[in-house]
Amino acid sequence: MVDTRVLQTGERTAALLQSQTGPPHRILLVEDDDDILHLNAEVLARSGYHVDTAEDGAVAWDTLQRARYDLVVTDNNMPKVSGVELIERIHAAGIALPVIMATGMLPDEFTRRPWPRPAAILIKPYSFHELLGTVQKVLQMAVLMAMLTICLPAAINAQSPLQPPTGLRIVASSSTPQANATAFLAAGNGAVNVQVAASAPPLPAQSPDSPDQPTAMTISTVGKCECSEDGVTFTNLAKGQILEHGVVLRTGEGARADLFFRRTGTTVRLQPGSELRIENMTLTIKDGLSLVNTLLDLRKGRIFTVVRSAVVGSTLEIRNAAGRSVVEGSGIGRYIITADGTHVAAKGSVIPLKVIGENGVTVLAAGQQFDKKDGKPFAASPTFWVKDMIELDELQAVSEEPVAKAPSLIP
């Protein structure tokens, strides 16, 4: 069921339904209710999208074999092939395609297992305003990931400014494994149209020198921050520097450094007086999915990390005095980890933090703390960690900043 009240909201609806600038995104709309299908298709088309429709999941799957799309919006409870089953087929085939699911309640499959999951969920009844807003946000995220994967590393390696001159249009080759996307960035006094066009299958096995291999990038530094490839000779750590596995990073007194791991959506902040080695970043293909496993060796000090994982099989592992701390799952997680074995999973963390050490396996839920000497989780004291939580919120804002700066794709 769709709430049609937005059709009488005047200026707000008119603004949402303005045409897009540039090539329209291609959306496949899947719904077995003819009225909802036609209404949603009309709203999306009037908003400037190219819309194709399918009356059930089986038809949608056949359509996806013949044409490429930027987004699928699907109902769940349908004959022949359900929305969950359609998502499973898309991921099993290695198709890089975000899916929005419309449903009256969360499917049982999501409670029994964490994957596969849609990019977003629309709970029925929803309004046209909610539909358009959700479509906008999911496409913006696709734009962000495409830009981080392609545009930023290319600009940094070329030692050119991250923001190209006004009016410049950048078109990436179609061999890049990202969904078609268009973004608009502020540059000087005008707008830059950055179009990423891609339609490739999932990544095959890559050589270590492949540009599609996992890397990290320095997004900010404060104070004296250094890096070393051999752990002996250190040089200044610069903003925008690309970091590969094996590099050792350290921060001086009153200094800090923020890193972004581009294929996992993870942001890490080294606190003052910390030393960290990026032990390994590996990419593997399993069941058609590109999985990234990152191992960090925290030798000194402590780190804050904000994880935004979209693939449940990818892992972030941090080694310290307590053993290994593993983050594996889809969603967001916020953690504080020290070299001496203290761990905190901040409130709002959807992904649990699993500590594997001499006491066995300890799973930390949101709002819990673990100390090596105690060997068991307990409620984190909000007064004791208040300054850290404020800084953790700041780090989360830093990780969200590229999204916030991108203007709405629907005026």
**pLDDT band of 387, cuts 50, 70, 90:** confident
Q: Which pLDDT tens digit goes with each residue over 225-234? A: 999 998 899 9
409 in a domain, yes or no? no
By the 10 Å C-beta count (0-12 exposed, 13-18 middle, 19+ buried), 131 is classed as buried
3-state secondary structure of 92: helix
Q: pTM of the prediction?
A: 0.50
Say whether both 89 and 186 belong to one domain: no
For residues 123 and 178, membership in a common domain is answered with: no
User: Residue 135 and residue 145: Cα distance in Å, rounded?
Assistant: 16
Indicate whether 209 belongs to any domain.
no
Identify whether residues 233 and 254 lie together within a single domain: yes
Determine, yes or no, domain membership for 67: yes
Contact 282, 255 (CB under 8 A): no
List Cβ neighbours of 23 (8 Å cut-off, separation of 6 or more): 180, 182, 195
Query: Domain range holding 192?
Result: 157-203
380 and 239 part of one domain: yes
Pairing between β-strand 275-286 and β-strand 289-300 as defined by DSSP bridges: antiparallel
pLDDT in tens, 138-155: 888 877 766 655 555 554
CATH number of domain containing 275? 2.60.120.1440
Residues 92 and 184 occupy one common structural domain: no
Q: Is residue 355 part of a domain?
A: yes
Q: Are residues 221 and 198 in the same domain?
A: no
> Which CATH number goes with the domain that contains 41?
3.40.50.2300
Residues 100 and 164 in one domain: no
Residue 53 lies in a domain: yes
pLDDT at 301: 96
Q: Is residue 411 part of a domain?
A: no
- The answer to whether the CB of 125 falls within 8 A of the CB of 102 is no
Q: Which residues, in sequence order, are CB contacts of 133 under 8 Å at separation 6+?
A: 16
Do 107 and 165 reside in the same domain of the chain? no
78 within 8 A of 61, measured Cβ to Cβ: no
State residue 332's pLDDT score.
83
* Residue written as token pair 């910390």: 274
Instruction: Identify whether residues 161 and 253 lie together within a single domain.
Output: no
Mean pLDDT calculated for residue range 75-82: 89
Among 336, 342, 303, 335, residue whose Cα is nearest residue 321? 342
Q: What is the pLDDT of residue 395?
A: 84
Q: Which of 90, 115, 141 is the last residue of a domain?
A: 141
Which residue in 111, 61, 316, 96 sits closest to 212, CA to CA?
A: 96
Tokens of 321: 């005095």
One domain for residues 349 and 222: yes
Q: Is residue 289 in a domain?
A: yes
Say how far apart CA 242 and CA 298 lie, in whole Å: 19
Q: Which of 149, 180, 203 is the last residue of a domain?
A: 203
At 10, the pLDDT band (50, 70, 90 cuts) reads very low
117 and 73 within one domain: yes
Domain count, the chain: 3
Domain identity same for 64 and 162:
no
pLDDT at position 50, please? 94
pLDDT in tens, 303-356: 999 987 666 678 899 999 888 999 987 778 899 999 998 889 988 888 889 998
